[in-house]
Amino acid sequence: MTALNCAVLTISDSRTLADDTSGEFLCGSIAAAGHAVHSREIVRDNVYQIRARISAWIADDDIAVIITSGGTGFTGRDSTPEAIAPLFDKEINGFGELFRQISFDEIGSSTIQSRALGGLANATLIFCLPGSRGAAQTGWEKIIRNQLDVDFKPCNFAELIPRFREQ
């Protein structure tokens, strides 16, 4: 097991640390998997606030993984993809596709409203999930946890992180 430093960002105009069930779930799950929660914050659903927080974490060499929750829908203020996608050096196209495929079994065609996405920026993995606790659980348990486990076969992102940093 290789422990990774992770950051969790909840994107919401209404959540606080007291009622952020998706962020709490992610922090608990990260720790249970043997990784460290380096930082946890909540920002409003504002492109520039999101981008500022993510950019600071991308620039922090101590953070290997960022997981966001919220702001991936279609309402007027949902702006996570618009804020974060321009920061990617490489997009992980399969992440959003796989998340929606798995979610289909749970919520049916409503999954098309999810704009979950993933990418790599400055050797930092970034996964953006919808804001519900259920979506956080699906993304973590069915995709992200295994990809952060260096022992997961046939391949995983954890084993590539040192190579990301060599570029």
Specify the pLDDT at position 2.
83
79-93 b/e (C-beta count within 10 Å ≥ 16 → b): bbbebbeebbeeebe
In tens, the pLDDT along 31-40 reads: 999 999 999 9
CB 94 within 8 A of CB 111: no
In tens, the pLDDT along 92-143 reads: 999 999 999 999 999 989 888 899 999 999 999 999 999 999 999 999 999 9
User: In the chain, what are the domains?
Assistant: 5-164 (3.40.980.10)
Specify the pLDDT at position 76.
80
Bridge partner residues of 9 (DSSP): 41, 68
Q: Which residue has the higher pLDDT, 77 or 128?
A: 128
